[in-house]
């Protein structure tokens, strides 16, 4: 495994990490979850990503149980939670968002579900237009000072808001956010490459990117018509279908087709190629992989072995732009 610093921070995360999104507490059972974490850990993965909103907290419960049963050393791995969407099917107004109340109570709930005494990373899962950034920054700082959170960050926040959070933190001697969790893949590049461009050096921002496979599109398995044993067969089907066939969906599918064919020509699994491409960006601290089977996970971890020449990478760029 390769390790990278979380932005300018001292935290070393594995370049490939493992996330509970979509699968834990939903598609897969507890045994499979434990096997996936065991396999990831054995291959050097040290960051396990989660959120209160994944399967309404059930993803955290399953992960906490699995890690406890496996007996992973607490200082050897990192675990995250994210606050915003709530862990209830129908949250009351105070059970979601970034108010001090919810940020604090969601942290306590996540600690309990994950069975740990501190979260290594704690993300604001989205910006909350109904809470002043200052309130959230103060709440996060309190959790850091109380030792309940080590690093806090944001997910899918506009660059300007991240800057504002830093400014407030500096002015009041509070902990600024350390990282962002943006979507990043061959089909979704602007935020990471353009919007956040100045923030990496300026704020030392780390990026723990999600969906390196564009929800599976870049594996090529959806090309044949969206059937079979894949994510599209489950509840998120509708959302994924929308992504795939929406407004600009046709052009997107054409790019995916070209990418998959190129990968085959280069003798690399499309998924591995797509993940390896993400890691070429030095601002990516880690790419979060999802998986519902150990075999699938191991295959994707193989992205670390992909070695192409510059001319080949340029071809990848060419067909996906």
- Judged by CB under 8 A, the stretch of 16-24, 138-146, 188-196, 278-286 that binds a second copy is 138-146
Question: Could you give the 3-state DSSP secondary structure of residue 74?
Answer: coil
- DSSP-derived secondary structure for 80-128: EEEESS-SSSS--GGGSSSSHHHHHHHHHHHHHHHT-SSEEEEEE-S--
Q: Does 90 bind a second copy (CB under 8 A)?
A: no
Question: Which lies closer to a second copy via its Cβ, residue 94 or residue 250?
Answer: 94
- Judged by CB under 8 A, the stretch of 140-148, 234-242, 282-290, 307-315 that binds a second copy is 140-148
Task: Please state, in angstroms and rounded to a whole number, the distance separating the CA atoms of residues 308 and 216.
Answer: 22
304 in the Ramachandran plot: left (φ > 0), alpha (ψ -120 to 50) or beta? alpha
- Residue from 58, 135, 195, 261 in contact with a second copy (CB under 8 A): 135
Q: Does 115 bind a second copy (CB under 8 A)?
A: no
Q: Please give the angle made by the CA atoms of 78, 79 and 81, to the nearest 5 degrees.
A: 145
Question: Which lies closer to a second copy via its Cβ, residue 44 or residue 315?
Answer: 44
22 in the Ramachandran plot: left (φ > 0), alpha (ψ -120 to 50) or beta? left
Q: Which helix (H) or strand (E) holds 66?
A: helix 58-70
Q: Which helix (H) or strand (E) holds 27?
A: none
- Residue from 33, 63, 78, 262 in contact with a second copy (CB under 8 A): 78
Q: How far is the CB of 122 from a second copy (least distance, A)?
A: 13
- Residue from 54, 122, 151, 222 in contact with a second copy (CB under 8 A): 151
- Cβ atoms of 92 and 84 within 8 Å: the answer is no
Task: Please state, in angstroms and rounded to a whole number, the distance separating the CA atoms of residues 215 and 54.
Answer: 15
- Judged by CB under 8 A, the stretch of 92-100, 186-194, 238-246, 251-259 that binds a second copy is 92-100
Q: How far is the CB of 125 from a second copy (least distance, A)?
A: 14
Q: How far is the CB of 15 from a second copy (least distance, A)?
A: 11
- Residue from 31, 71, 89, 92 in contact with a second copy (CB under 8 A): 92
- Residue from 104, 161, 258, 266 in contact with a second copy (CB under 8 A): 104
Question: Could you give the 3-state DSSP secondary structure of residue 267?
Answer: coil
Q: Which helix (H) or strand (E) holds 143?
A: helix 133-145
Q: How many CB atoms lie within 10 A of CB 160?
A: 9
User: Whose structure tokens read 């192409």?
Assistant: 308
- Residue from 56, 80, 99, 211 in contact with a second copy (CB under 8 A): 99
Residues labelled catalytic: 54
Q: How far is the CB of 119 from a second copy (least distance, A)?
A: 11
- Judged by CB under 8 A, the stretch of 135-143, 272-280, 302-310, 312-320 that binds a second copy is 135-143
Residues forming contacts to a second copy in the complex (CB under 8 A) are 3, 5, 8-12, 14, 46, 73-78, 88, 92-95, 97-102, 104-106, 109, 118, 120, 128, 130-132, 135-136, 138, 142, 144-147, 150-151, 172-173, 175, 204
């Amino acid at each position: 495994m390769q390790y990278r610093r979380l932005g300018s921070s001292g935290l070393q995360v594995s370049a490939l990490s493992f996330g509970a999104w979509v699968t834990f507490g939903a598609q897969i059972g507890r045994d499979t979850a434990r096997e996936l974490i065991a396999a990831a850990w054995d291959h050097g993965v040290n960051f396990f990503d989660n959120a209160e909103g994944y399967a309404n907290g059930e993803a955290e419960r399953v992960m906490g149980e699995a890690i406890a049963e496996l007996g992973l050393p607490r200082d050897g791995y990192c675990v995250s939670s994210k606050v915003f969407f709530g862990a209830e099917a129908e949250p009351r107004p105070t059970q979601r968002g970034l108010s001090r109340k919810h940020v604090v109570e969601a942290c306590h709930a996540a600690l309990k579900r994950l069975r740990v005494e501190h979260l290594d990373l704690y993300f604001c899962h989205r910006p909350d237009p109904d809470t002043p950034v200052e309130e959230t920054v103060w709440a996060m700082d309190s959790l850091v000072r109380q030792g309940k959170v080590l690093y806090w960050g944001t997910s899918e926040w506009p660059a300007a808001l991240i800057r504002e959070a830093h400014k407030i933190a500096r002015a009041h001697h509070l902990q600024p956010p350390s990282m962002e969790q943006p979507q990043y893949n061959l089909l979704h590049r602007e935020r990471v490459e353009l919007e956040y461009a100045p923030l990496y050096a300026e704020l030392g921002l780390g990026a723990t990117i999600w969906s390196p496979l564009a929800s599976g599109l870049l594996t090529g398995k959806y090309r044949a018509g969206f059937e079979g044993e894949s994510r599209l067969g489950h509840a998120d089907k509708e959302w994924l279908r929308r992504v795939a066939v929406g407004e600009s969906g046709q052009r997107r599918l054409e790019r995916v087709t070209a990418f998959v064919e190129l990968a085959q020509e280069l003798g690399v699994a499309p998924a591995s190629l797509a993940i390896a491409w993400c890691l070429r960006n030095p601002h990516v601290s880690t790419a979060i992989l999802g998986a519902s089977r150990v075999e699938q996970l191991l295959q994707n971890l193989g992205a670390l072995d992909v070695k192409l020449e510059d001319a080949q990478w340029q071809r990848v760029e060419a067909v996906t732009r």
